[in-house]
Amino acid sequence: MGEAALWGAVGASALVIAAEVAFAFKLSRRVIGLIMAFGVGALISSVSFELIAPAIETIETWQVGVGLAAGAIVFFLGDRYVASLGGGKRKNPEGGSDEEGGDSGLGIVLGTALDGIPESVVLGMSLVGGGGVSLSLLAGVWLSNFPESLGGSVNMLKSGWSEGKVRLLWWSILAVSAVAAAIGFAALEASSTLTGGLVEAFAAGALLAMIADEMAPEAFDRASIYAGLATVGGFALALWLTTFEM
């Protein structure tokens, strides 16, 4: 569990690093879009090879479908709730005040938890069986967290949050992510084959919904036609990283 918590913290470290970048620099829309698109490709690869492939080997195909649907529905409902609280544009690096349609602090916090904690749980799950951490999944999680923190930090600063308060928020979520990874490891290690496969499929459905609803559209909006190339690059890197896990 300790190793799972460590890797969960590493995946969430992008939240802290990106916040410091937001304090010191203003990255262009295209750079943010390319980072997001790269993360999209890495996460799609990870979902395919680290979650769906193992699930299909342990449970029936229709059970995988049930898990996928459940994960997508839960993410959809959670995302709608977060949007109603002012977190609908939490990855927007341009920021904006609440009056301008930007994000509220509470919406950003809940939205980051909605996106990041399931990813950390999956990271912990990838350690079950005595293998090392999934490098492809770790890369995808890190790259998906970076633009979320970057945009969220800008929004919170514009909403009147101090830098110290923003730092405390991201460090707190990093700690929660570490705990979530440990829980994911313990839960899957103690579960039956059926439960483990369903959990993997559920996580895959939630991640795919997040990619399609948020990351991919915003990546294209910022990087335009270059988003496709960056997505393929992220997918290829994640696929290459899986060769070190065999």
> Consecutive sets of 10 residues in the chain, 246 residues long: mean pLDDT of each?
85 90 83 84 84 86 93 86 68 50 56 70 71 74 77 76 89 90 76 72 85 84 91 88 67
Report pLDDT for 131.
Answer: 62
Contact 181, 8 (CB under 8 A): yes
Report pLDDT for 100.
Answer: 46
State both tokens at 3. 């190793």
Q: How many domains, the chain?
A: 1
Q: What amino acid occupies position 189?
A: E
Report the length, in residues, of the chain: 246
Computed over its alpha carbons, how large is the radius of gyration of the chain? Answer: 17
Q: How far apart are the first and last CA of the chain?
A: 22
Query: In terms of residue numbers, what domain contains 236?
Result: 2-242
Report pLDDT for 229.
Answer: 95
**H or E stretch covering 203:** helix 193-210
